[in-house]
Amino acid sequence: MQPEETILPFSLKYDATHCQAYFDKHRASASRRVSNYLEQRMANKALQIATNVSSCLDLPCGTGRFWDRLFLSGVQDLIAADYSQDMLDIAARVRPLEQVTKTKLLRTSAFAIDLPDQSVDLLFCMRLLHHIGMPEDRSTILKEFSRVARGEILVSLWVDGNLQASRRKKKEAKRIRTSYQNRFIVPADQFEAEVTSGAGLEIVGHVDLLPGISMWRTYILR
């Protein structure tokens, strides 16, 4: 039985205009292109650790930014899912036709994935968990990922213990608090405990975007 779908405020902002801006921003400047290159490299290193990538759920897929990398890694059966239908529509429009025709698009939530148990070999989740501030919400998502994936789960998030996290914490301490926040640093030890004790998953390894510098880390879970 799937859990009841949870809707967080940040997910409601992705209308057609915002989704198009999301697609455009990763190619808008030299710094964005470098950032995209580094994220693609991090994803590639994590994918190389996975044992079977034949079928894959990319959630959230956004506008398909990682489809090239997934197909190059050996994915043959790709389900690209997102909560935003506008993201899916833009992905179908801007990505190469040969990729779109090989991809099943699915509008669904990470809290209640509209797929049967053990549907895919690999679950690929980039740029979601840094939006999830509550441990119980992360736990729900991780358990759903475990239900749907019969192999590895790749998840990226912001962790502490690096230069960017230290700088961000100092800025956050000075910032006026609002009732809503949509990006979070999770202590690595805390997240790893949530994975193993909370979700019953094994940590196979992790890949840092820039070790000691960047907040971005991708975990390989099984």
Q: Is the predicted pLDDT of residue 12 greater than 60, yes or no?
A: no
In a domain, 121, yes or no: yes
Q: Which amino acid is at 155?
A: V
Coil, strand or helix: which one is 57? Answer: strand
In a domain, 122, yes or no: yes
Structure tokens at 202: 């094994």
Determine contact, residues 222/152, Cβ cutoff 8 Å. Answer: yes
Q: Is the predicted pLDDT of residue 60 greater than 50, yes or no?
A: yes
CATH of the domain at 51: 3.40.50.150
In a domain, 179, yes or no: yes
Residue 17 has what pLDDT?
A: 75
HSE, side-chain direction, 13 A CA sphere, residue 79: 19
C-alpha–C-alpha distance, residues 87 and 107, integer Å? 9
Structure tokens at 139: 């736990």
Which pTM does this prediction carry?
A: 0.89
Q: Mean pLDDT over residues 26-43, rounded?
A: 90
Helices 85-94 and 16-25 pack at an angle, to 10 degrees, of 50
pLDDT tens for each residue of 138-188: 999 999 999 999 999 999 999 999 999 999 988 887 776 665 578 999 999
Structure tokens at 221: 């879970």
In a domain, 130, yes or no: yes
Q: Mean pLDDT over residues 101-117, rounded?
A: 97
Q: Which domain holds residue 212?
A: 10-221
Structure tokens at 96: 């190469």
Q: Is the predicted pLDDT of residue 27 greater than 80, yes or no?
A: no
Q: Is the predicted pLDDT of residue 1 greater than 70, yes or no?
A: no
In a domain, 2, yes or no: no
Residue 2 has what pLDDT?
A: 46
Structure tokens at 82: 């997102």
In a domain, 3, yes or no: no
In a domain, 4, yes or no: no
In a domain, 1, yes or no: no
Q: Is the predicted pLDDT of residue 29 greater than 90, yes or no?
A: no
Q: Mean pLDDT over residues 96-103, rounded?
A: 96
End-to-end CA distance of the chain: 21
Please enumerate in sequence order all residues whose Cβ is within 8 A of that of 46, keeping only pairs 6 or more positions apart, or say none: 154, 206, 207, 218, 220
Query: Within 10 A of 116 (CB to CB), how many other CB atoms are there?
Result: 9
Q: Is the predicted pLDDT of residue 90 greater than 70, yes or no?
A: yes
Total number of domains in the chain: 1
